[in-house]
Amino acid sequence: MFEATELNFRDNRVEWAVKALFLLMTLLLILPVLLILGVLLYRGGPVLSWEFLFTQPTNGMTAGGVLPALVGTIWLVVVALLASVPIGVAAAIYLSEYAPQNALTRAINLAIINLAGVPSIVHALFGVGAFVYFFRFGTSILAASLTLAIMTLPVVIVSTLESLRAVPHAFREACWNMGATRWQTIWRVVLPNSISGILTGVILEVSRTAGETAPIMFTGAAMFMPLLPRSVFDQTMALSLHLYTISMNVPDVPEALPYGVALVLIGLILSMNAISIGFRTVLRSRRKW
């Protein structure tokens, strides 16, 4: 029978201290989020209602609801996803499965990293020059969404790259030995086993896209437009810009109104993320490894 030595006791104390440290760091990350949500609920909860969600702003945006901004935000997020996800996934597939490891590939990877570090206001200026004036989309949902898509492409590419590389190489070799082509292997084996990681990138993109203000301010979002958009070539309100406008530029706004708009924005982001997480959970349960 073995008895614990002083070394064992010391290792246990170190293990306990490390575990407590990591728990404290986790709580320090969660605590600010809980505090923010608590303040928003306390300050903005009184204005939340179905009428607030499904009516237009009135009295110079000092009363009424957020329907045009809510619908406009959904438009911007959906169109940005439709534009960025296919391109980002295709680029990641090329870099992971086809591209040789040479100077060109390294330059592409460096460009992706640099693109992720470009400030949002620079993306806004690029969107104005490229989509508003050069392609003549005007200030519209399409121009704003494409600007957001360019801004969030690195998130989709990097998350897809990591999920593709996480698929064991033995899966590919087994398919090739059975006579499958490279594309058949990617389509039938690699992508189905990496889809959960791709959805992680989509979740991150939704969060960033819905909360951005500068890129859409110059390319397609209007400070006040009570009419709902009918196509991607219309301007629209957005929750992030609406929150900035009533907080900084509109006098005599009720104190609870900006907090209510912030709650709706966070609720929309959480709802979209919950849908993506649900899909990811279902697909992850079907993964074969």
CATH number for the domain spanning 169: value is 1.10.3720.10
Going by the DSSP 8-state scheme, the letter that residue 58 receives in this structure is E
**Could you tell me how many residues make up the chain?**
289
248 vs 61: CA distance, rounded Å: 12
Q: Is residue 114 part of a domain?
A: yes
pTM for this prediction: 0.87
For the ranges 4-8, 102-106, 122-126, 192-196, the lowest mean pLDDT is seen at 4-8
What are the angstrom distances between the C-alpha of 196 and each of 3, 243, 270?
Answer: 47, 33, 18
Enclosing H/E stretch for 113 = helix 103-116
pLDDT tier at 143 (50, 70, 90 boundaries)?
A: very high
Query: Which domain covers residue 279, as residue numbers?
Result: 50-285
Q: Is residue 86 part of a domain?
A: yes
112 vs 118: CA distance, rounded Å: 10
Number of Cβ within 10 Å of residue 89's Cβ equals: 23
Q: Is residue 82 part of a domain?
A: yes
User: How many Å from the N-terminal Cα to the C-terminal Cα in the chain?
Assistant: 40
**CB 143, CB 131: distance < 8 Å:** yes
- Domain count for the chain, please give it: 1
Predicted local distance difference test score (pLDDT) of residue 76: 95
Q: Is residue 269 part of a domain?
A: yes
Kindly report, residue by residue over 198-236, the tens digit of the pLDDT. Answer: 888 888 888 889 888 889 999 998 888 888 898 999 999
What 3 state SS string does 30-46 have?
HHHHHHHHHHHHHHHHH
Q: Is residue 154 part of a domain?
A: yes
Q: Is residue 5 part of a domain?
A: no
Q: Is residue 25 part of a domain?
A: no
For the ranges 43-47, 57-61, 214-218, 285-289, the lowest mean pLDDT is seen at 285-289
Q: Is residue 20 part of a domain?
A: no
